[in-house]
Structure 1
Amino acid sequence: MADETLYEHAGGTEGLHRLEEHFYASMLADPLLQPLFGAGRPGHVEHLTWFTAESFGGPDRFTEELGFAHLIDVHRNLRITEEQRRRFVELYMAALDVVGLPDDGPFRDAVRSHVEFGSQVAMQNSNATTDDELHPIREVPIWTWDADKAGR
């Protein structure tokens, strides 16, 4: 597995698109998370797919087409709570099973680490009242198999 990226292990863009499509639908149906997303946004599944693909060692389409500032902007003023953050992680991990992504421990540990980190950043940015309160990350983090050290 060491030579294979998380992107490749997940089935590339196709596998990640299936994941993000199911995950996004589950968020829109969830009473705790739906208020953050309203009726949904066209293109959101594709943007999630691009972000995850890039984070997992795939193409850098998110950075090239949207940029990290977009990610900060879409989370500003959402006021994400810890309860919503935890539910986000729970639904994401459940979506892995539903769409049949690999269930080996190293992959699941890396994905959980990625989603925990990302949801913490999103929560911090969503509650920031000044730019100084934003999380310092300003580029898509690249995640690896070493879940304890990835992306930071």
Structure 2
Amino acid sequence: METLFEHAGGNDGLHRFIEIFYSSVLSDPVLQPLFGAGRPEHVAHLTAFTAETFGGPDTFSREMGGFSRLIDAHRGLRITEAQRQRFIELYMAAADRAGLPADEPFRDALRSHVDFGSQVAMQNSHAETDDQLHPLREVPHWDWPAPSA
């Protein structure tokens, strides 16, 4: 069965998507405070994370610090629900602009991926102790149509 990674156009399709998404985040007044001026490596990291989540190569875990780095990146940000919802909105809009597949099973998986991930990030952004972190400690793996993590 085709993976979500393959269906999205592999690394090229996901990189194009994440570039568009990241550009929109950096110019958005609701989200820009979380991202500041941005980081040059952010597109590569988010692309690799998404690729791994969708059944592609495990570059994020092997070469980019893995999930523990992602936890550290969100700690202390104190993400609001409004920011989380805006993140989802821009993510899905970027999928349209990048020309990602529009079929319902893929878009359902994409939406559940960003919804779940943004909930984890929001919880971790408010955690003052390790016990308050979301229990997820490794890159989740998404399939058709729901996560298997």
Give structure 1 stretches of 5+ with no counterpart: none
Structure-1 residue corresponding to 2:143: 144
| TM-superposed deviation, 1:146 | 2.3
Is the contact made by 2:52 and 2:139 (CA closer than 8 Å) also made in structure 1? yes
Alignment of 1:6-45 (within 5 A): 6-45=4-43
Q: Residues 84-138 of structure 1, C-alpha deviation per residue, up to 9 Å, x if partnerless?
A: 0000000000001001010000000000000000000000000011110000000
Structure-2-length-normalised TM-score? 0.98
Structure-1-length-normalised TM-score? 0.96
Aligned length: 148
Structure-2 residue corresponding to 1:118: 117
| TM-superposed deviation, 1:42 | 1.4
Is the contact made by 2:106 and 2:145 (CA closer than 8 Å) also made in structure 1? no
Is the contact made by 2:109 and 2:145 (CA closer than 8 Å) also made in structure 1? yes
State the alpha-carbon separation in 2 of the partners of residues 16 and 107 from structure 1.
13
State the alpha-carbon separation in 1 of the partners of residues 127 and 83 from structure 2.
16
Q: Which runs of 4+ in 1 moved over 2 A?
A: none
Structure-1 residue corresponding to 2:94: 95
State the alpha-carbon separation in 1 of the partners of residues 96 and 20 from structure 2.
10
Note the aligned Cα RMSD (angstroms).
Answer: 0.6
Is the contact made by 2:67 and 2:138 (CA closer than 8 Å) also made in structure 1? yes
Could you tell me the percent identity over the aligned residues? 71
